């Protein structure tokens, strides 16, 4: 696979993980009986901004996602990986 194809695939994977995270955050909010209006008020935003965040329409900052998580009683945890190194390691393990 050429470098551009690798970048595109990794970008698609990141987008899928982001959508999954938003679904999980929304599910936590709903499971706690919190409305978008309540969350918006606690975040000092309007309800539409929260709806757009949850729907993945906007591109929120990490700070906005952290605040949303705190407001609903959740936490965000990050993992940073060097994907080039991981790929090389995987190639050697499967050789």
The answer to whether the Cα torsion of 83, 91, 6, 25 is positive or negative is negative
Q: What is the pTM of this model?
A: 0.86
Q: Are the CB atoms for 54 and 36 separated by under 8 Å? A: yes
Query: Would you give the end-to-end CA distance of the chain in angstroms?
Result: 18
Number of structural domains, the chain?
1
- The CATH number that applies at residue 28 is 1.10.260.40
Q: What number of CA atoms fall less than 13 Å from residue 14's CA on the CB side?
A: 11
Domain span at 19: 3-93
**Nearest in space to 72 (alpha carbons), one of 47, 48, 45, 43:** 43
Full pLDDT tens readout for the chain, 95 residues:
799 999 999 999 999 999 999 999 999 999 999 999 999 999 999 999 999 999 999 999 999 999 999 999 999 999 999 999 988 888 888 87
């Amino acid at each position: 696979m050429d470098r551009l194809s690798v970048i595109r695939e990794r970008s698609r994977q990141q987008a899928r993980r982001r959508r999954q995270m938003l679904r999980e955050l929304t599910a936590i909010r709903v499971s706690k009986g919190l409305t978008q209006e309540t969350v918006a008020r606690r975040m000092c935003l309007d309800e539409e901004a929260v709806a757009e965040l949850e729907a993945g329409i906007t591109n929120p900052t990490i700070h906005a996602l952290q605040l949303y998580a705190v407001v609903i009683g959740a936490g965000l945890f990050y993992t940073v990986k060097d994907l080039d190194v991981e790929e090389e390691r995987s190639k050697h393990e499967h050789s």
